[in-house]
Structure 1
Amino acid sequence: MDEPIIKAENLELWYGEHQALRSVSMDIMPQKITALIGPSGCGKSTFLKTLNRMNDLVP
């Protein structure tokens, strides 16, 4: 079995005291189509931004 190209384990993201992502785990496998589906406001875009490190604070 192939190794995942992206692996998230128990990922959490906080905005101050608001927890935006709670214990998200996901393997993204090579040469596979992966879809993130869910209702508005459930954290799909936040999860992708976190994977791309767009939420990092750089001084």
Structure 2
Amino acid sequence: MLKLRQKVSGSMRTLAGAQDFCDLRSYLATAHKHGIRFIDALAMLAGRRPWLPALT
């Protein structure tokens, strides 16, 4: 995680940038836990049809 923060230069200089980073990281982690590949989750998100976990 530390190395990732170093590579995301400048995005966490503001509170809004840090929140965006955390939101995206959380979305990808949840998708991964449900067996969705990162690239597929990002593609769906970019296509304005985000993956959502099933309601139980």
Common topology (TM > 0.5): no
The structure whose RCO (Cα within 8 Å, separation 6+) is larger is 1
Q: By percentage of residues, which structure has more strand?
A: 1
With the length of structure 2 as denominator, give the TM-score of the two structures. Answer: 0.29
